[in-house]
Amino acid sequence: MAASGRRSGNGTRFALQGTMIALSTWKTWICGIVAVGASAAMGCGAGNPGPGLGDDGPACQRGTEACACQAAAQCDDGLACVDQQCRRPEELGLVVNDAAARSCEVLLHEGNSRIAGARFASSVTGVHIRQGFHSAISFFGNHDDAIPADGIVLQVVESAAPGEDIGEDIGEDIEILRARCFDREGWELDGMAAALEK
């Protein structure tokens, strides 16, 4: 018998066996994404760099801050490739506020801020996929415990050029469009079980 605070039906119950969560809702959230490896192309795809980012000369070395990304959307340690440019991200926590949750899938909308990636604690396994102005995060705890408050950290940068003031704090315009969390038995939990730590 399902405990209070759970919903069944509509395909929300699933097993958490194996190494990843089966997410049937990805196709409806972000069309055209068929593999985790596609995330690199979304944030900073291969191809010619944008104006001023390709042939900057020795003064702007690929992979360094404010310069073009290296091949395969790579940047030096501590930097993230966004819009074909290496940027230094700030961190924004994504908190699961229901102790019964063992896995979640979250869809976010970006504004002037971009979610360049996500960092997961050692006790959490997850993936981040980005397309256009949307990011999707899916994760689950590696143990049958509540997901820690610092378990998911979003790496956020401004879409403006480095040093350009967009008039708001980084990450302030990022919002959760949808969040679904599931308990240890795979039942969906009621309510918005995830929130941004602004």
Boundaries of every domain in the chain: 24-39+89-197
Q: Measured between alpha carbons, how far is 88 from 72 in angstroms, rounded to an integer?
A: 18
Q: pLDDT class for 73, splitting at 50, 70, 90?
A: confident
Task: Please state, rounded to an integer, the average pLDDT across all residues of the chain.
Answer: 76
Q: Measured between alpha carbons, how far is 133 from 70 in angstroms, rounded to an integer?
A: 23
β-strands 113-120, 152-158: how paired? antiparallel
Q: State the pTM of this model.
A: 0.65
Cα 192 vs. chain centroid, distance in angstroms?
17
Beta bridge partners of 179: 106
Is residue 107 pLDDT above 90, yes or no?
yes
CATH-assigned architecture of domain 24-39+89-197: Sandwich (2.60)
Is residue 137 pLDDT above 50, yes or no?
yes
As a whole number, mean pLDDT of residues 155-184 equals 79
User: Phi, psi at residue 24, to the nearest 5°?
Assistant: -75, -15
Q: Measured between alpha carbons, how far is 13 from 102 in angstroms, rounded to an integer?
A: 13
Distances (CA, A) of 157 to 47, 97, 173: 22, 25, 12
User: What strands lie across the sheet with 194-197, from one edge to the other?
Assistant: 113-120, 152-158, 90-96, 194-197
User: Which comes out higher in pLDDT, residue 174 or 7?
Assistant: 174
Is residue 96 pLDDT above 80, yes or no?
yes
User: Phi, psi at residue 68, to the nearest 5°?
Assistant: -65, 150
Q: Measured between alpha carbons, how far is 64 from 51 in angstroms, rounded to an integer?
A: 17
Eight-state DSSP code of residue 23: -
Cα 85 vs. chain centroid, distance in angstroms?
18
Radius of gyration of the chain (CA): 18
